[in-house]
Chains A and B, each alone.
Chain A
Amino acid sequence: MSNTPKQTEKLPWKCGKCGGELERGLVKASYLGNDFEVQELKCLNCGLVLITEELALGKMFEVEQSLEDK
């Protein structure tokens, strides 16, 4: 799962808490007892992780569905 399918495309979002730029960093995700570590955009100061609509409804949904059928 990658938050930035087009590496060059810059997302307009900044951290609303500290105003900082978002950077790719290691994020822990889990579903139905399965844990993963993935690279996602986050605010390194505040820990906020951005999940875009494209990711949520695309790759992430696919992974959820296949874990549900496992």
Chain B
Amino acid sequence: MLLMEQEELKLLEDKCTQENPPACTAGCPIHVDARKLMSDIQKKDLKSALATLQKKQPFPGIIGRICDHPCEDVCKRRDVGSPISIAALERFCVQNQSSNSPKAGMIPEKSQTVAVVGSGLRGLTVAYDLAKKGYKVTLFDKADRIGGSLWDFPKNQLSPEVIVEELSVLSRLKVQIELNREITRLDLADLQEKFAALYLGLAKQSADAVELLGNNYDLDPVTGATAIKGIFGGTLADNDSPIRSVADGRKAAISIDRYLQGVSLTASREGEGSYESKLFVNTQGIEPLPAVSMSNEQAGFTVEEAVQEASRCLNCQCLECIKACKYIESYGSYPKKYLRQIYNNNSIVMGMRHANKMINSCSLCGLCAEVCPQGLDLGEVCKASRVTMIGKGKMPPSAHDFALRDMAFSNSDKFALARHQPGCNSSSYVFFPGCQLSASSPEHVENVYKLLMEKLTGGVGLMLGCCGAPADWAGEQDLFRRNWEVLAAEWERLGKPQIITACSTCHSMFQTKFPNIVSLWELMADMELPGQEDMLSGGRVAVQDACTTRHEPSIHNAVRKILQKLKYDIEELPYSRERTKCCGYGGLMSFANRELAQKIVEDRISESDVDYVAYCAMCRDRFASKGKRTWHLLDLIFSDDLEQAAVKPSVGFSYRHENRAKLKRKLLHTLWQETPSDQEEAYMSINLQINDRVWGIMEDRHILIEDIQQVIGYAERTGRKFTNPDNGHSLAHYRPLRVTYWVEYEPQEQGFIVYNAYSHRMEIVEGAHE
């Protein structure tokens, strides 16, 4: 999916059920928003509660007392307790808040006239709905009062006063009421002439209906239209359900309105009446609560009882991904909305692209797809959008530049290497430790390589470099492909050995590219490990599964097997294995949205108090950077000082480069007995004094030691700098490629003290250089 098309967007949007109504609303034939009603009652805002009822109910004072509440049959509280007493709560509302009916005169009047025959709930609803739309409605009833069977309800449930008061709204809506008027088949022609449309408020196939229409009572169940043009009727066969009668009337009112406006009677009517909502609601882990009982059944709920009962409402929503993902949560909405924003962002030709940062902030970890009942993967959409942005030249250069330069470093001569095992001229295996383990714990790369050479036969080659993940994550497909072609050529040169990965990201990047790869953890799980016999109980640890192993259960199992061999008790985090959480490095989130990536670390490390074990170098370093005691799995196997290893600070960006370069030089020297030809640039010998404060600034601003050395080297060579006579500081800048670095420094005998560093991407055109 490169460019999301409208149809594709629609399909994706449909997967997100958050905007679907709660079960109660969908189950209500007229779609009363019971979820909102419960929230109103919880806040004791009865005015708002009544408005919520009035939005859908024609006569809330009546319906609120007699509704047969099909909503309660589908209420999700049923799974954890008993359904919310929605009907009793409606009654509470209408008993305690007088209705504030629509005022006449607010509605633009229409000239068309409608006759409604019969004033039961059907006819009353049609009269009310159409009068509210401005039609001139006349209501006929053969009795001497309107209301039909409403008068049959027990007085203590529905009193005559309430009926009169509630139905008085019809007069305010200027409905003409003609009582004692029995309409027979003989009157029909006359009514058809006088009125633009006719509604027969009778149950389908009732004696009255058959009497009136005879064989013409052939009714469209969707619209209520009879075979005679302009005459509509009830589609329900009985009067048993008050709320369904209201819905039946409403259906006809919609049809009559459409008929009078000359538009399609049948178009998009799927949503009318009761239906099953697609909204997913997870009731797992919710404490069951029984219904609140009334102290006085006759009087109904007291305020306290009503608030308590309404508070049992689950406020049904999906939000599964929002509960699991800080990124999705942080943009304040839900995927359906984000999909639209991303689509719009991709479609903009001129103007601001407001969703760029959102698209670049996703870790692409796939957790959303795992927890979404419909499997919607927002990360896939973000990734595809990044590819689109690159294709259009609209990717903000600052988002991924630093990470891509880091990748370029790892694949330069400074780090990249591909060799057979010393003394061998073929390889059955090749160890690919990856760039980040080499940067964080170069000693472990050495340890592991030695172990593999000792345990495996047939030659274990070594390949140093970057798998290309930063390019893939940044949407740079061409760069990723070129990178992979280089790696593939080296691998072929080594005789296509089986690749052993130590980094889960490399593993995931290679999975579809190279045949027969194996993770270091799978190999180690079946190996005798150094120091294994000496281990006493290691204590309790929680495992941080790397997000790129989400669908690699054999790696999850292998890691746990290794920990068991080392005699550790394993605690499973609430989100682990296929539901694990990213550390905020994945998808280059930490470069595009540093603040969010920090929050994600804080959230993850707060899941358990026990020490963590990670098998991704970035997870380990990022957790440690926030003070969480975290080991890399290799620490537990090779480290002499576990205390120190648990708290070892994260290796800063500058030293990540240096560690990789040193590792290559060391291995070349110790294993292959080669003296690497150091082609250091002159500036690299510049000695810097940098205190912790300045280190922090450099890390925050992604400024490396070599950037600072270049600035000072250039300034001291050319004299192009500013000076402060008061303190002897110099301030200079240099732009190696796309970023201008500024450094405030002071020359010392043995080098330079660095006081500050900052950068900008905008280019300033200066006068004569050098």
A residues sitting closer than 8 Å to B (CB atoms) are 12-17, 22, 27-32, 40, 42, 46-51, 53, 56-57, 60-61, 63-66, 68-70
B352: CB under 8 A from chain A? yes
Q: Which residues of B contact A70 (CB under 8 A)?
A: 351-353
Q: Which residues of B contact A17 (CB under 8 A)?
A: 719-721
- Which residue from B396, B397, B760, B766 sits with its C-beta under 8 Å from A61? B760
Q: Which 4 A-B pairs have the closest CB atoms?
A: A47-B767, A68-B396, A13-B722, A28-B765
Q: Which residues of B contact A15 (CB under 8 A)?
A: 722-723
Q: Which residues of A contact B356 (CB under 8 A)?
A: 68-69
Q: Across the interface, do A66 and B352 meet the contact criterion of CB distance under 8 Å?
A: yes
Q: Which residues of B contact A50 (CB under 8 A)?
A: 722, 731
Q: List 29 A-B contacts (CB under 8 A).
A: A12-B727, A13-B722, A13-B724, A14-B722, A14-B723, A17-B719, A17-B720, A27-B764, A27-B766, A29-B762, A31-B763, A42-B766, A46-B720, A47-B768, A49-B766, A50-B722, A50-B731, A51-B733, A51-B740, A51-B742, A53-B758, A56-B758, A57-B758, A61-B760, A64-B762, A68-B398, A70-B351, A70-B352, A70-B353
Given A16-B720, A46-B767, A68-B398: A60 touches B725 (CB 8 Å cut-off):
no
**A16-B730, A51-B740 provided; 19 other pairs, C-beta below 8 A?**
A12-B724, A12-B726, A13-B731, A15-B722, A16-B719, A16-B720, A29-B764, A30-B765, A32-B397, A47-B766, A47-B767, A53-B756, A57-B758, A60-B760, A60-B762, A63-B762, A64-B761, A65-B396, A69-B354
Q: Which residues of B contact A61 (CB under 8 A)?
A: 760
Cα distance A63–B725 when bound, in Å? Answer: 32
Taking CB atoms and an 8 Å cut-off, the chain B residues in 185-202 that contact chain A are none
Least Cβ–Cβ distance between B113 and chain A, in angstroms: 57
Q: How many residues of B contact A (CB 8 A)?
A: 37
Q: Across the interface, do A69 and B352 meet the contact criterion of CB distance under 8 Å?
A: yes
What is the interface of chain A mostly: helix, strand, loop, or mixed?
A: mixed
Q: Across the interface, do A31 and B762 meet the contact criterion of CB distance under 8 Å?
A: yes
Chain B residue with the shortest CB-CB distance to A1 = B762
Least Cβ–Cβ distance between B476 and chain A, in angstroms: 16
Q: Which residues of A contact B723 (CB under 8 A)?
A: 13-16
Chain A residue with the shortest CB-CB distance to B756 = A53
Q: Across the interface, do A30 and B762 meet the contact criterion of CB distance under 8 Å?
A: yes
Cα distance A22–B731 when bound, in Å? Answer: 13
Cα distance A32–B393 when bound, in Å? Answer: 10
Q: Which residues of B contact A63 (CB under 8 A)?
A: 762
- Which residue from A28, A30, A48, A69 sits with its C-beta under 8 Å from B722? A48
Least Cβ–Cβ distance between B752 and chain A, in angstroms: 14
Interface string of B730-770 (1 = CB under 8 A from A): 11110000001010000000000000101111111111100
Least Cβ–Cβ distance between A19 and chain B, in angstroms: 8
Q: Which residues of B contact A57 (CB under 8 A)?
A: 758, 760
Given A12-B726, A51-B742: A29 touches B765 (CB 8 Å cut-off):
yes
Q: Across the interface, do B398 and A65 meet the contact criterion of CB distance under 8 Å?
A: yes
Cα distance A17–B373 when bound, in Å? Answer: 67
Interface centre among A13, A42, A57, A70 (most CB of B within 10 A): A13
Cα distance A15–B763 when bound, in Å? Answer: 20
Interface centre among B351, B742, B760 (most CB of A within 10 A): B760
- Which residue from A14, A51, A53 sits with its C-beta under 8 Å from B764? A51
Cα distance A51–B732 when bound, in Å? Answer: 10
What is the interface of chain B mostly: helix, strand, loop, or mixed?
A: mixed
Cα distance A60–B760 when bound, in Å? Answer: 7
Taking CB atoms and an 8 Å cut-off, the chain B residues in 161-211 that contact chain A are none
Taking CB atoms and an 8 Å cut-off, the chain B residues in 701-728 that contact chain A are 715, 719-727
Q: Across the interface, do B761 and A31 meet the contact criterion of CB distance under 8 Å?
A: yes
Cα distance A46–B356 when bound, in Å? Answer: 40
Cα distance A46–B768 when bound, in Å? Answer: 7
Q: Across the interface, do A69 and B396 meet the contact criterion of CB distance under 8 Å?
A: yes
Given A16-B722, A65-B398: A30 touches B353 (CB 8 Å cut-off):
no
Chain A residue with the shortest CB-CB distance to B759 = A56
Interface centre among B353, B760, B761, B762 (most CB of A within 10 A): B762
Chain B residue with the shortest CB-CB distance to A63 = B762
Q: Which residues of A contact B742 (CB under 8 A)?
A: 51, 53, 56
Chain B residue with the shortest CB-CB distance to A18 = B719
Chain A residue with the shortest CB-CB distance to B763 = A30
Cα distance A14–B356 when bound, in Å? Answer: 40
Cα distance A70–B203 when bound, in Å? Answer: 62
Least Cβ–Cβ distance between A2 and chain B, in angstroms: 14
Cα distance A49–B760 when bound, in Å? Answer: 14
Q: Which residues of A contact B398 (CB under 8 A)?
A: 64-65, 68
Cα distance A40–B724 when bound, in Å? Answer: 18
Q: Which residues of B contact A64 (CB under 8 A)?
A: 398, 760-762
Least Cβ–Cβ distance between A28 and chain B, in angstroms: 4
Chain B residue with the shortest CB-CB distance to A28 = B765
Cα distance A13–B722 when bound, in Å? Answer: 6
Least Cβ–Cβ distance between A1 and chain B, in angstroms: 9
Chain B residue with the shortest CB-CB distance to A44 = B767
Cα distance A21–B657 when bound, in Å? Answer: 40
- Which residue from A13, A29, A56, A69 sits with its C-beta under 8 Å from B763? A29
Q: Which residues of A contact B762 (CB under 8 A)?
A: 29-31, 60, 63-64
Least Cβ–Cβ distance between B701 and chain A, in angstroms: 8
Q: Which residues of B contact A65 (CB under 8 A)?
A: 396, 398
Q: Which residues of A contact B351 (CB under 8 A)?
A: 70
Q: Which residues of A contact B767 (CB under 8 A)?
A: 46-48
Cα distance A53–B265 when bound, in Å? Answer: 67
